[in-house]
Chains A and B, each alone.
Chain A
Amino acid sequence: MPEYHPFLPFLVAALLAAVTRGTLRSIIMLLAPVVGGLMLLGVETGTLVQYQLMELTLSPYRVDALSLPFAYIFHIGAFICVLYSLHLKDTLQHVAGMLYAGSAIGAVFAGDLFTLFIFWEILGLSSAFLVWSSRDDQSVSAGVRYLIFQVLSGVLLMAGALWIWVDTGSLAFDVIGLEGGAAWLIFFAFGIKCGFPFLHNWITDGYPASTPTGTVFLCCFTTKVAIYAMARGFPGTELLVYIGAFMACYPIFFAVIENDLRRVLAYSMINQLGFMVVGVGLGTALALNGAVAHAFNDVLFKGLLFMSMGAVMYVTGRTKASDLGGLYKKMPITTALCIVGAVTISAFPLVSAFISKSMIMSALIEEGHGIIWMFMLFASAGVLEHAGIKIPYFAFFAHDQGIEAQEAPRNMLGAMSIAAVLCVAIGVFPAMLYNILPYDAPYSPYDMTHVLTQMQLLAFATLGVVFLHRSGRYPAEVPSVNLDFEWVYRRLLPGIYRIVVRTLQIIGDFIGSYLQSWSGNLMAALNRTHGPQGTLARTWPTGSMVLWVAVLLAVFLVLDFL
């Protein structure tokens, strides 16, 4: 039996980080994932801690084969993120970062929907503080938009969980399946955090607005927790195959024309999540293993790419492709590490993405999804362009902008190196990762066909880039904003709102002026009778009053006699 919940080391570290400074804080924050990780090595699958809270049976700590790989990578990711952000003196970021990483771990161990909801909310709120930590106008408004999506996801999850509880009397978080209203609510709660199409802009809007270190934290946890939750609740939901394929394809086009390199990576993340969502949707042992393995690897290679762009931003203050170039001379180590990340995300043989993505691709073909497979292959070639070539090329090569720069701080280089070594190690020794995957589905990525076909795809896609470049068809990087779905709620809806307000104003003015003229007439009429000159406002002599009273009495007298 474990002695404490794995969230605890992170909670303690967050509390202590708030009151300590300097080296002591660094040690405390580095220790949290180490202590938690070591404890995890001794935990057995099947561990279940349950509490009775009135009528509810809560399972805040459930360890099984599906939650463990996520917990492992979250500990590794947390260690890398903390190391990467050690040079900071920003208490807010450190505390938010520790809570954020811890709540991701809490969420994957949640055995019931109530516990999941609690960690889901901490995850959303703490990460919003990471977006805000840039402390500029842009990050404040992006953070608010980010938080709205997180809260919406939380509300849907809570509503769905309550509905399920009322229906079944149980809050256990197991396979939910897409039947009934409650299931749909939870499906969309998870879907928002997975970056479903049209619900994805919190990623492309929020991530690039955060600090160099904040973005690295952000890219590791939320979306992977969502993939875990999807794999737990909705494995084999066919709809996910089509959603995932769409997610894998459409961000590529935006990534190609996007100028902000961290936003390119955000689009690239949705593309990678698409592969995982497809794996979950297929639901076979091989496909689910592929989704879990790809999520595991994505933390490392996407983290590595975000770290390299963060290092560039930290050193030069720039992230836009049109402002960067030629940094390979001044940041050779960062350049090399970025290239390792780029090669990995492109899924060349001998790096980690190859051994996980090929599982999903094989599962697709085995399940007879030939057309979706063609789309995913197309998406794989697209990854090479925007993440494999564009990111390192525009940041470190392209046109030398003569930017003053030096190599990134040592802690950043150390964090990037760990991620890079793991990317290659998992690619070379896939058994390291395959041994911790949840389902029994033996797979061998390194056979002649896989290696040959993948190399052909990637080599000729690279040839395509060379062809476009040499023939002058490759689009130049220009400072721009590309309108995505967020335009609907950042411009269209506010625009409609303004038009409605203006229309109401006009109607109001019309009614107002009508009322005014009507009330003016009324006032004039009243004025005529009651005004200073009005008949009823005249001062009458007392004599006439007495006369009329006498007349009145006389009338009564006459009436009485009649």
Chain B
Amino acid sequence: MQTQNNNKAGWADRPEIQQRIRYVLYIICGLLVIADLLVSRYTYLPVEDIPAFYAFYGFAALVGVVMLAKILRQLVGRGEDYYRKNKKESDGNA
């Protein structure tokens, strides 16, 4: 049962607000890269010397995780009743 009130779009559903949130994120990302070029941070490993290394790594890691997870889903994804079905079978055999 849904009332009309339930279907009313909230603030987070409005495209212009979603767009504004995205713009804020883009600006933050831009500022962080600029800050990386201005500030001299200390490093331990050679890879850390690459400008904006953490930015590249964060983006690549996340996209990599999700892409690999999609492959994993192809391998291990099964129907929701996978184990229940199995149980019924074994119950039937018993």
Contact residues on A (Cβ < 8 Å of other chain), bracket: 35 or more
Interface: A20 (CB within 8 A): no
B73 touches A257 (CB 8 A): yes
B86 touches A475 (CB 8 A): no
- Across the interface, which residues of A come within 8 angstroms of B42, CB to CB? 449
Contacting residue for B58 out of A328, A460, A473, CB 8 A:
A460
Q: Residues 14-34 of chain B: 1 if any A CB is under 8 Å from the residue's CB, otherwise 0?
A: 000000001001101100110
Give Cα A457 to B13, complex, Å.
Answer: 27
Among B27-69, those with CB < 8 Å from A are 28-29, 32-33, 35-36, 39, 41-42, 44-45, 47-48, 52, 54-69
- Across the interface, which residues of B come within 8 angstroms of A506, CB to CB? none
B62 touches A461 (CB 8 A): yes
Known: A458-B58, A461-B58, A481-B80. A397 touches B65 (CB 8 A): no
B72 touches A463 (CB 8 A): no
Give Cα A283 to B7, complex, Å.
Answer: 55
Interface: A465 (CB within 8 A): yes
Q: Residues 448-467 of chain A: 1 if any B CB is under 8 Å from the residue's CB, otherwise 0?
A: 11001111111111111111
B79 touches A475 (CB 8 A): no
Known: A402-B2, A402-B6, A463-B59. A257 touches B54 (CB 8 A): no
Q: Which of A54-62, A292-300, A349-357, A380-388 contacts B (4 or more CB under 8 A)?
A: A380-388
Interface of B, helix, strand, loop or mixed by DSSP: helix
Nearest residue, chain B, Cβ from A141:
B87
Nearest residue, chain B, Cβ from A470:
B22
Known: A404-B1, A498-B90. A253 touches B12 (CB 8 A): no
B58 touches A482 (CB 8 A): no
Known: A257-B69, A461-B58, A466-B25. A328 touches B63 (CB 8 A): no
Give Cα A403 to B72, complex, Å.
Answer: 31
- Across the interface, which residues of B come within 8 angstroms of A464, CB to CB? 58-63, 66
Q: Which of A96-104, A370-378, A436-444, A520-528 contacts B (4 or more CB under 8 A)?
A: A370-378
Give Cα A378 to B7, complex, Å.
Answer: 39
Q: Which of A36-44, A68-76, A186-194, A483-491 contacts B (4 or more CB under 8 A)?
A: A483-491
Interface: A479 (CB within 8 A): yes
Give Cα A287 to B65, complex, Å.
Answer: 27
Known: A385-B66, A480-B77, A481-B79. A460 touches B44 (CB 8 A): no
Nearest residue, chain B, Cβ from A362:
B44
Known: A328-B10, A461-B62. A456 touches B54 (CB 8 A): yes
Known: A329-B10, A494-B90. A456 touches B36 (CB 8 A): yes
Known: A400-B7, A461-B62, A480-B77. A490 touches B83 (CB 8 A): yes
Known: A490-B83, A491-B86. A385 touches B65 (CB 8 A): yes
Known: A480-B77, A498-B90. A384 touches B72 (CB 8 A): no
Most buried by A among B9, B22, B29: B29
- Across the interface, which residues of B come within 8 angstroms of A481, CB to CB? 77-83
Nearest residue, chain B, Cβ from A371:
B45
Known: A482-B78, A483-B76, A494-B90. A457 touches B58 (CB 8 A): yes
A463 touches B29 (CB 8 A): yes
Interface: A252 (CB within 8 A): yes
Nearest residue, chain B, Cβ from A404:
B1
User: What are 6 A-B pairs with beta-carbon distances under 8 A?
Assistant: A374-B47, A382-B62, A400-B13, A456-B58, A480-B73, A481-B81
Extra contacts, 6 of them, besides A256-B66, A404-B1, A456-B54 (Cβ < 8 A), are A378-B64, A456-B32, A456-B58, A466-B25, A475-B69, A481-B79
Q: State the B residues within 8 Å of A (CB).
A: 1-2, 6-10, 12-13, 22, 25-26, 28-29, 32-33, 35-36, 39, 41-42, 44-45, 47-48, 52, 54-70, 72-73, 76-83, 86-87, 90, 93
